[in-house]
Amino acid sequence: MPAPRLEPAPGFGPTYTEMLHPKTLPAAIRRKALAAHANELDPINLYNITWRKPDNSIRHIVLPKKLTGVEANIVVLVGREFPSGSHKVGPAYATLMEGELAGEIHRGENTIIGPSTGNFGIGVAYISKLKGYPAIVIMPEQMSAERYQRIRQYGGKLDLTPGSESDVILVLERTEHYKKDARNKVLAQFELLPNYRFHRHVTGGSALEAAQAHGNGQVAAFVAAPGSAGTLAAGDAIKEQFPDAVICALEPRECSTLFNNGRGTHRIEGIGDKMVTLIHNVLTTDYVMLIHDDDCVVGLLQQRQAFIETLLQLRAGSLRPFDGVFGISSVCNILGAIRLARHLHLGPKDNVVTIATDGFDRYPSVLADLAKRKPMASDRALRDSFEAIFRGGSSADILDVRPRQEKERLFRYKQETWSKFGYSDSYLEGMKSQSFWEGEAARVAEFDSALLKARKS
């Protein structure tokens, strides 16, 4: 008799709880998923959407203090091992999964639309391929070449809008056009709450666990540069456990929208989208910090690893575990975490947690461009830029957004953008209360039990 198929129907996948704790998966599914790592187009890989390694520990790195120059532990969660190469596959999966459970999205009837600046689009194309949907990714035309390549590789179609990272509003406007055809289903990362739920439950839970092994085991601060602001929701889980923890949102200095309504172009792909996204819980954001975009491009640690090791008098090859682990926004997050730790005078017991959304594989073309723009001729020039980048930053770049008037300002920005896209004043008003976010987080249980029921049937 043939062995029963272990693959669930392509419509299914893990619950939020199983993404946080894959150990709770049926053992046969977990085993099969781990064995399928190398074959990324096997649909069983849906069950590899998790921050955990096969041994169930959380994928993270604590940066050497010689590199950070601060006493606090800078704990970086590593996203590039997620299927498709970045943690953005998590919100893509969660949004499609909730849409299916709500009976709004059906395989064979619908086309999936992914408004994005790249990694979410890659995640959408990937998840759609695994689940058997056609996908169209709408994104700006000036993102890294590696992004378009991946989307095509997963069979996604591309619809490109003018401009770059900071022209996401054009992507949202193009998305409205697709909504006119009811067969198109938009995984709207900037406005749908599964993005918040994934990060609050899965990323937040993983961040808390990663910190347990370091310093005092608590989290003093969480730092992330928002694109959709989904990742920032991990901070809400952290605050639930450690109410004194601080959440800091980073922005490119060149596009300082949260800081002071600045709206320029910049080079940090994935973040700084010229808006307060609908799913950004501004109530729990304590600080906004500006980071110069070129610091992040130049600071890609991989670029001159041997040089950095010599400069810091590290053992040769001791940075090797970081090889390829960081993309540009990861460097931004690392710089933000270091500067916040310095600003808050955090000590050796304190943990600052941040995220490396994707790895270096998405950026060789960007470094090639950098080499043309800024030939880094001498070691002296590199040494100076290292000092400026890793030991630099000024408190003038940090804004405390805890006062009520700052919250009101951010709410106003949110309202300006989202009332144009049809959100009512009363819905937007509701978001000004923490109970809105608690209610949305609590829905994890509802979706989990609906999914388990669907899997059984």
Ligand X SMILES: Cc1ncc(COP(=O)(O)O)c(C=O)c1O
Residue closer to ligand X, measured from CB, 25 or 370: 370
Residue closer to ligand X, measured from CB, 84 or 231: 231
CB 151 to ligand X: min, Å: 13
CB 117 to ligand X: min, Å: 6
Contact call for residues 111 and 136 (beta carbons, < 8 A): yes
CB 99 to ligand X: min, Å: 18
- Which residues in this chain contact ligand X in the complex, by CB under 6 A? 88, 117-120, 225-231, 269-271, 327, 329, 357-358
CB 252 to ligand X: min, Å: 11
Closest residue to ligand X, Cβ-based?
270
The candidate with the shortest Cα–Cα distance to 215, out of 64, 354, 74, 69, is 74
145-153 and 364-373 helices cross at what angle (nearest 10)? 160
CB 337 to ligand X: min, Å: 14
Cα separation, 291 vs 225, whole angstroms: 10
Cα separation, 56 vs 67, whole angstroms: 28
CB 331 to ligand X: min, Å: 10
CA angle, 178 then 183 then 186, to 5°:
50
Q: Could you tell me whether strands 246-252 and 221-224 are parallel, antiparallel, or unpaired per DSSP bridges?
A: parallel
CB 362 to ligand X: min, Å: 7
Residue closer to ligand X, measured from CB, 44 or 89: 89
Residue closer to ligand X, measured from CB, 12 or 259: 259
CB 359 to ligand X: min, Å: 10
Residue closer to ligand X, measured from CB, 117 or 128: 117
Contact call for residues 374 and 267 (beta carbons, < 8 A): no
CB 119 to ligand X: min, Å: 3
Residue closer to ligand X, measured from CB, 11 or 119: 119
Cα separation, 268 vs 117, whole angstroms: 11
